[in-house]
Amino acid sequence: MKKIVGRFGVESFDVVISTETLEHVLGWRTAVNNMKLVLRSGGYIYITTRSKGFSYHGYPYDYWRFEASDLIKIFRDFEIIKIERDWEAPGAFLKARKPIN
């Protein structure tokens, strides 16, 4: 994943969107770190991911489940604007802003 930052550069994007991906990434910490690095100061990140209770859906892999509380911890260095749980298909939705400076 470090190639992503090298390819695009630090603070290259105003918005980063990751939908239904993190649960499929073995090295999710590296993926999240790279998303944070390529996002410009003041930029927004949108994450949707599945939580406990959502069935296994390996395409080809399915490693993790993230709760809203996990996303709060993972993005504690960001301003969390909105976080919601999906009760129908257990999951979590996050909208956060990267701080300026």
Nearest-10 Cα torsion for 75, 87, 50, 30: 0
What does the pLDDT look like over 2-37, one tens digit per residue? 577 888 899 999 999 999 999 999 999 999 999 999
22 Cβ neighbours under 8 A, 6+ residues apart: 28, 31, 32, 47, 49, 64, 66
The CATH architecture assigned to 2-97 reads 3-Layer(aba) Sandwich (3.40)
What does the pLDDT look like over 33-88, one tens digit per residue? 999 999 999 999 999 999 999 999 988 899 999 999 999 999 999 999 999 999 99
- Which residue ranges make up each domain of the chain? 2-97
Q: Is pTM, for the whole model, over 0.85?
A: yes
